Structures are given as C-alpha cells and as structure tokens.
C-alpha cells in the first residue's frame, strides 16, 4: 500500500506540476460538481481501488468492482465533490483505470485461450510495478515474483559467472529459498539441470526450469525426454521469452506448466474509459 500511495502521488504531481492552469483560470475554486466514469468498450475492469485511493477526499460510488466484465457505455464510477480536484485529476485517474483494465482484459482473454492447459504468468518487464502485477492477477493470470526477494531464479548471466557449472550454482542456493528456478536455453542444459534437481529434490523446495527462447517443437522434445528419464515429475516447466498471443496455443500444447509473457504488461492496449461531467 505504501508503494501504491507514493506512486499515485508521483503520477499526479507529474501531471499537475504547478497547478492546472486552465481549471484554476475559469472554475470557481469552491464549486462542486458530479461526474461519471464510463466504459467506451468491453473488457475487464481493474484499478477501481487505486482510483478511490487517489480520490479519497471526493465522494466516490463504485458501481462496478475490479474483475467485473464491463460493456461499452456502462457507468463504472460516480464522483461528487470539488470541481477543481475532479478536473485536475481526470487524466491521471483515467490513465490508471485504462492501463490496469487493459492489462486485465488482455490477460483474461489469453487465459481463456489456454483452456486450462497451462497457467499464464507475467514477468518483471513492466512499467508500473505492483500495479501492473495486480492487473494481471485481476485478469486471472499469475504474478510470478513480485520482487527479487520472492524466490531464486538463476538466469544466464548468473550461470556465466559460474562458467555454466549448473551443479555448483544449484548446490549454493538449495538452502536459500523454497522456490528455485533455473533458466536453460536448449535441450542439453534442460536435461542436465533436471538431473541435478532430481538429486536435490526434497519436501522443502519447489524446483522449476525456465525454458527460455526455445521454440515449441524443441520444448515438446525436451518434455518427452524428461518423461523418458523419469525427470518430469520433479519440477515445474515454464516457457518464456518472446512469446506472443499468436504463439500461445502452440506453447500450451507442449506440456509446460506455465507460460510467462512480458507482452501482458509491455504491450497491452489501454481500455477506452472516459470521464463525463453531469
């Protein structure tokens, strides 16, 4: 909550700067008005809690809540209060709702496309941090790590420092986190890492392989080999790297447990939402 308050304050200050010159020039500072927030297209609503926090000194009536399916022309929120505050916060408030709702809508649509074959997860490739992650969650996606302290993910640059000695790296982290994931880039690395994970497997840790930038055909081959060597049940498999909505079904048919997409937060289209004065 502390992050959200500070971030919303930052967004508002960036937009207002030294004051809304137009509003302060033509509107009586004591004037009260009413306004509505209206959907201009269908989607999944997100960001209403943050909207209320940003406008906590106004009278807010939320007619729809986060996660609701909304339709074009639905009234989402009613606002009453000081005209100056309502007008000067309009753009920041709408940016918040539009971005979070856009991410939630895209996530919801892609989760449906997966048809329960795999889980869909976000990455840390985002602009708005925890707010983007929350929007993914509202759309029924997984957040993955919220921050670097949530679990261990050994990436290619970590392995380079260890001269790609996977066993030494895994041995050094096995007691540092309950969740340990290692990035692999080909079949040889995947099988090697899976064998080491099988040796380390216990009731304390959850191990995962991140199959990074590997095409679906090769992932299918990796999954088949893991099953042949009795390594498949010791870990989770995550497909990641450059995956877009057009590829999604092919990845979901490979036998992975999760598919992570930076696309969810760095390429989602803002949902069209507007504010209208009554």
Q: What CATH number is attached to the domain comprising 100?
A: 3.90.1170.20
What six digits make up the tokens of 102?
């856009």
Q: What CATH number is attached to the domain comprising 232?
A: 3.20.20.70
Q: Which of 237, 278, 276, 234 is nearest to 254 (CA)?
A: 237
pLDDT single digits (tens) 24-40: 999 999 999 999 999 99
User: Can you give the pLDDT at residue 1?
Assistant: 64
pLDDT single digits (tens) 240-269: 999 999 999 999 999 999 999 999 999 999
Domain count, the chain: 2
Looking at the domain assignment, is residue 65 inside a domain? yes
Rounded distance, CA 132 to CA 47, Å?
A: 10
Contacts for 144 with CB less than 8 Å, ≥ 6 apart: 121, 122, 123, 124, 260
Looking at the domain assignment, is residue 6 inside a domain? yes
Q: ∠202-206-208 over CA atoms, to 5°? A: 120
Residues 259 and 273 in one domain: no
Helix residue spans in the chain (DSSP H): 2-16, 21-26, 48-54, 83-88, 90-114, 130-138, 156-161, 166-173, 187-200, 216-228, 248-252, 263-266
Asked if 4 and 53 touch (Cβ cutoff 8 Å), the reply is yes
Domain of 244 in residue numbering reads as 114-266
Residues 47 and 121 in one domain: no
pLDDT single digits (tens) 113-170: 998 899 999 998 999 999 999 999 999 999 998 889 999 999 999 999 988 888 889 8
Looking at the domain assignment, is residue 109 inside a domain? no
pLDDT single digits (tens) 167-208: 889 888 888 888 999 999 999 999 999 999 998 887 778 999
Rounded distance, CA 256 to CA 222, Å?
A: 10
What six digits make up the tokens of 4?
């959200």
Burial class (CB in 10 A: 0-12, 13-18, 19+), 225: middle
Residues 195 and 256 in one domain: yes
Task: Read off the DSSP letter of residue 19.
Answer: -
């Amino acid at each position: 909550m502390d992050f959200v308050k500070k971030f919303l304050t930052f967004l508002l200050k960036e937009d207002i700067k030294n004051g809304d010159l137009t509003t302060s020039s033509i509107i009586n500072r004591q004037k009260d008005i009413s306004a509505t927030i209206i959907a201009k297209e269908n989607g999944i609503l997100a960001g209403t809690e943050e909207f209320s926090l940003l406008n906590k000194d106004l009278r807010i009536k939320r007619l729809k809540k986060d996660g609701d399916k909304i339709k074009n022309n639905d009234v989402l929120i009613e606002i009453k209060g000081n005209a100056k505050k309502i007008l000067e916060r309009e753009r920041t408030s709408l940016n918040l709702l539009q971005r979070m709702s856009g991410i939630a809508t895209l996530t919801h649509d892609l989760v449906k496309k997966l048809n329960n074959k795999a889980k869909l997860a976000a990455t840390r490739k985002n602009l708005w941090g925890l707010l983007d992650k929350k929007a993914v969650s509202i759309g029924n996606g997984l957040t993955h790590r919220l921050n670097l302290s949530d679990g261990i993910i050994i990436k290619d640059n970590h392995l380079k420092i260890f001269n790609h000695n996977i066993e030494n790296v895994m041995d050094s982290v096995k007691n540092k986190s309950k969740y340990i994931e290692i990035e692999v880039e080909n079949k040889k690395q995947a099988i090697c890492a899976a064998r080491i994970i099988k040796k380390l497997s216990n009731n304390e840790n959850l191990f995962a392989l991140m199959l990074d930038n590997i095409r679906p055909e090769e992932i299918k081959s990796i999954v088949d080999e893991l099953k042949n060597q009795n390594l498949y049940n010791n870990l989770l498999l995550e497909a990641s790297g450059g995956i877009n909505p057009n590829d999604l079904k092919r990845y979901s048919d490979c036998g992975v447990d999760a598919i992570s997409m930076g696309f969810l937060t760095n390429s989602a289209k803002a949902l069209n939402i507007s504010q209208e004065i009554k």
